[in-house]
Structure 1
Amino acid sequence: MKTIRIGAGAGFAGDRIEPAVELVEQGELDFLCFECLAERTIALAQLARQRDPAAGYDPRLERRMRAVLGPAMARGVRIVSNMGAANPLAAMEAALAVAREQGLTGIRMAAVLGDDVLASIAGQDLPLLDRAGSLLDLKPISANAYLGAFPIAQALAEGAQVIFTGRVCDPALFLGPMIHAFGWAEDDWTRLAGGTAIGHLLECAGQLTGGYFADPGYNDVPGLARLGFPLAEVNEDGTAMLTKVAGTGGRLSLANAREQAMYEILDPARYLQADVVADFTTLNLAEAGPDRIAVSGATGHPRPESLKVSVGYRDGFIGEGQISYAGPGAVARGQLALDIVAERVAMQRLAVDDIRYDLIGVNAVNATGRAPEPAEVRARVAARCADRATAAEIGAEVEALYLNGPSGGGGVTTTLREVVAVASILVPRGAVAPSIVHGVS
């Protein structure tokens, strides 16, 4: 039975780069996939593209390419990534520039386009999926449909060695190479579901090999500073063996895999993807040795007729101020500081939509209880406001505590940021038209 090896080079935009290099150099890979695009990331990337038409892709793209492109091309490893974010074409051009800078000529790259549907949905009264209301209630800055794996497979079939996408379903980054390598049909629901399960297990990289699982004394995971990212030995029938490079840190266990299998799954019986509706209730995960997990049993159903669209929109501003108190009575002084700011907000009739007063380390997370009296505490005030000027006043009031509040305050920080929120809608599959652009170094 034909088998390919696929590695997970990143699980989010800020992920480490060294484990990806390790996978390329020691993992005997056929494909390396970088999953770097969270729901809100692409909206922020659209803002960057509005400021600079050549921007809007992952800011660490060049660093990653400088680290892995040469070793990958030398070993015949093909790269697939959603680092294109809001501008896959510019991402490809940036990667081509890195290739030329490194003397790597003749590298064939591709950009998968078509996920940006902002212009086509403008003004439509489309209902929101995650709350009441419609698209008309928002001020969209981005709208990106979740594309499937077949455009990636097509780009590979057309000779691309490095592929950049925008918004695609996360497992599709891994499923695309499987479709290309094994020739799976668009209606082969069982194999597509199996590939989707494998991609879903790999997509968060170090989360699968114990990074997010570690809890000292309960779930001890060795070598986290040298955490190895996972790879999958994928079979033509849609089954796989998960493992990692020998000698790397972390642990690939059955418990880790089970946690990741249920990660961000609304309904395990109906995991909706652009290519298939996967049923994970039949999924079988089994330990096959140290750092080896066998994956099989996923079943699938025909793909949805609609595609999910992630809509980014402006949603006001958040102003924040923090100040620290230490020594005897730190909690009481911190609480007095919060009380002062609360009274000042009321006195000035500041128009806040929502506001929080927290003592970090006491009640900021566990608001129903109090921790034992700490030797230090950090008071935090954060408010959501409709306009920038009002939000800025929150930090100013906290800073004023230096001379106008309880004794011993210090280390004030203030921040002001625009809120870019995300909502979801559905559009007909036929309204989205993926396309591919190729380039050569």
Structure 2
Amino acid sequence: MTPSVNPRLVRLGAGAGYSGDRIEPAVDLAEHGQLDFLVFECLAERTIAIAQQARRRDAQQGYDPLLEARMRAVLPSAVNNGVRILSNMGAANPLAAARKTAQIVRELGLGPLKIAAVTGDDVLDAVLSGPWLFEETGEQVINYRDSIVSANAYLGAMPIVRALDAGADIVLTGRVADPSLFTAPLIHAFAWRMDDWTVLGQATVVGHLLECAGQVTGGYFADPGFNEVPDLARLGFPIGEVAADGTVTITKLAHAGGRVCAETCKEQLLYEIQDPARYLQPDVVADFTGVEIVEDAPNRVRVAGGRGAAPTSTLKVSVGYLDGFIGEGQISYGGSGATARARLALQIVRERLALTGVKTRELRSDLIGVDSLYGNTLESIAGEPAEVRARVAGRTSSFADALRIGNEIETLYTNGPAGGGGVTKSVREVLAIQSVLIPRAVVQPAFTFVEI
């Protein structure tokens, strides 16, 4: 593969919107999308903290669990069609992810390819040694020293751009701001300046529209009777056709399911935005208030008008820490009097937890009435649900207390009320997330090529 510089149009494909996303739409894009770049956005705040835990258990792990499956699926078509791949699937271990990808390339006989790993987002040592305060609570980060498992700064586009400029065919990163994954190939391809705030603001619009993949092609828009979206089982992921001024046309493959319209783009543009006039990113403070969205044709929406200003002097760091356990139990009741028996079950469990001294920081109990027992064969009895599921969940400081919650639900099998069944119980560790702001100078991003 060879880098493209100053083309008339760059075609970006969104290969994933989260870690567990479908793989076949990305394969479809690699095969038929006539793409320049295929971008997999797979990293959430909690995801990277979980990945850090995996890396601590095994130094060769810590990257996205679907990295191998995705690469084996898309690489043959991507290489054949000259598509370059960018992704934050490196998670907590970009170098290991790059080495695993190199191994897959060798096994598939696809070389030679240049594979780069972007590092520098792991700032755990700096966070543990500085006088930082959590943005959400104002607490001192050092007070959580013994429970912190990860601290990753949101990098911008620049290290990815440098890797692409050096000829990288595949770039794997850790924590990078989601829009920056899409901004980087545009900066590389069009040779934009890193202080052209207007074009970087519009590029952030592009990245924000594409980063959640199937959301902008109708997945999150679909609402039967109100917002009809065809063939959702074969939902296609979006393509962004980007011009040199950053103007983008959002579209999809003609044969793929889904729908791209002004409404899907407007919904995605506002998704997770606090202040559309000041969307803080490591590359730019983007301003979405002047964005114009025009439907040029079915499944072709043109978006322009993003602006920007210089970024702040700090970078956001996502800090993951252990914060207790959640114990949960569920049991179903069906037929006549199901609701009353379920309410009695919840009352019994609450009393039992108090009697046995289970210490909870939070406790809630719910009745979930759906169709898990009878389907649609018996909709109601005497105006009440034909079935109901009782759920108790509590947050505790100890594993033992969390375990007792589900165990008390299980004892309802033989200790009443009548007719309970389908018990499930679980205990899971709480991995909490807060953020801090640190000076940019503390963060030193870099990229490294791995050998095929």
Query: Given the two structures, how large is their TM-score scaled by the length of structure 2?
Result: 0.94
Q: Give the Cα separation in 1 of the matches to 2:308 and 2:137.
A: 28
Partner of 2:88: 82
Q: Does 1:382 align with 2:398?
A: no
Q: CA deviation at 1:131?
A: 2.4
What amino acid maps onto 1:428 in structure 2? P
| CA offset digits 1:308-360 (Å, max 9, x no partner) | 00000000000111111111111111111000000001111211000110111
Partner of 1:318: 326
What amino acid maps onto 1:186 in structure 2? M
What amino acid maps onto 1:50 in structure 2? R
| CA offset digits 1:193-232 (Å, max 9, x no partner) | 1111000000000000001111111111110000010011
Partner of 1:367: none
Partner of 2:380: none
Following superposition of structure 1 onto structure 2, how do residues 119-268 of structure 1 map, counting pairs within 5 Å?
Answer: 119-138=125-144, 139-268=147-276
Q: CA deviation at 1:122?
A: 0.7
- Residue among 50, 54, 67 paired with 1:48: 54
What amino acid maps onto 2:74 in structure 1? V
- Residue among 13, 18, 41 paired with 1:12: 18
| CA offset digits 1:272-291 (Å, max 9, x no partner) | 00000000001111111100
Partner of 1:419: 430
Q: Give the Cα separation in 1 of the matches to 2:238 and 2:203.
A: 15
Q: Does 1:39 align with 2:45?
A: yes
| CA offset digits 1:81-107 (Å, max 9, x no partner) | 000000000110111111111111211
Q: Does 1:59 align with 2:65?
A: yes
Partner of 1:366: none
Q: Does 1:293 align with 2:301?
A: yes
Q: Does 1:357 align with 2:377?
A: no
- The secondary structure found in structure 2 opposite 1:325 is strand
- The secondary structure found in structure 2 opposite 1:287 is strand
Quote the sequence identity (%): 58
Q: Give the Cα separation in 2 of the matches to 1:94 and 1:405.
A: 53
Q: Give the Cα separation in 1 of the matches to 2:206 and 2:272.
A: 15
Q: Give the Cα separation in 2 of the matches to 1:294 and 1:221.
A: 20
Q: Give the Cα separation in 2 of the matches to 1:276 and 1:27.
A: 29
Mark the runs of 5 or more structure 2 residues left unpaired by the alignment: 1-6, 371-382
What amino acid maps onto 2:46 in structure 1? R
Q: Give the Cα separation in 2 of the matches to 1:352 and 1:14.
A: 32
Q: CA deviation at 1:361?
A: 2.8
Length, aligned pairs only: 432
Partner of 1:333: 341
| CA offset digits 1:212-254 (Å, max 9, x no partner) | 1111111111100000100111011111111000121010011
Partner of 1:305: 313
- Residue among 378, 403, 409 paired with 2:420: 409
Q: Give the Cα separation in 2 of the matches to 1:48 and 1:40.
A: 13
Q: Give the Cα separation in 2 of the matches to 1:158 and 1:123.
A: 34
- The secondary structure found in structure 2 opposite 1:171 is helix
Q: Does 1:280 align with 2:291?
A: no
- Give runs of ≥4 in structure 1 deviating > 3 Å: none
Partner of 2:379: none
- The secondary structure found in structure 1 opposite 2:152 is strand
Q: CA deviation at 1:268?
A: 0.2
Q: CA deviation at 1:70?
A: 1.1
- The secondary structure found in structure 2 opposite 1:336 is helix
Are the aligned partners of 1:107 and 1:440 in contact in 2 as well (CA < 8 Å)? no
Partner of 1:430: 441
Q: Give the Cα separation in 2 of the matches to 1:167 and 1:424.
A: 13
| CA offset digits 1:103-146 (Å, max 9, x no partner) | 11211100000000001221433121122312123221000000
Q: Give the Cα separation in 2 of the matches to 1:137 and 1:352.
A: 22
Mark the runs of 5 or more structure 1 residues left unpaired by the alignment: 363-371
Partner of 1:94: 100
| CA offset digits 1:10-43 (Å, max 9, x no partner) | 0000100010011111111000000000111000
Q: Give the Cα separation in 1 of the matches to 2:391 and 2:91.
A: 33
Q: Give the Cα separation in 2 of the matches to 1:386 and 1:436.
A: 40
Q: Give the Cα separation in 2 of the matches to 1:156 and 1:123.
A: 34
Following superposition of structure 1 onto structure 2, how do residues 66-77 of structure 1 map, counting pairs within 5 Å?
Answer: 66-77=72-83
Are the aligned partners of 1:106 and 1:440 in contact in 2 as well (CA < 8 Å)? no
Q: CA deviation at 1:304?
A: 1.0
Following superposition of structure 1 onto structure 2, how do residues 94-113 of structure 1 map, counting pairs within 5 Å?
Answer: 94-113=100-119
- The secondary structure found in structure 2 opposite 1:97 is helix
What amino acid maps onto 1:206 in structure 2? G
Partner of 1:368: none
Are the aligned partners of 1:155 and 1:436 in contact in 2 as well (CA < 8 Å)? yes
Q: Give the Cα separation in 2 of the matches to 1:429 and 1:361.
A: 50
Are the aligned partners of 1:227 and 1:250 in contact in 2 as well (CA < 8 Å)? yes
Q: CA RMSD in A?
A: 1.0
- The secondary structure found in structure 1 opposite 2:289 is helix
Are the aligned partners of 1:143 and 1:311 in contact in 2 as well (CA < 8 Å)? yes
Q: Give the Cα separation in 1 of the matches to 2:131 and 2:364.
A: 34
Partner of 2:4: none
Q: Give the Cα separation in 2 of the matches to 1:406 and 1:355.
A: 21
What amino acid maps onto 1:278 in structure 2? A
| CA offset digits 1:47-68 (Å, max 9, x no partner) | 1111111110000000000000
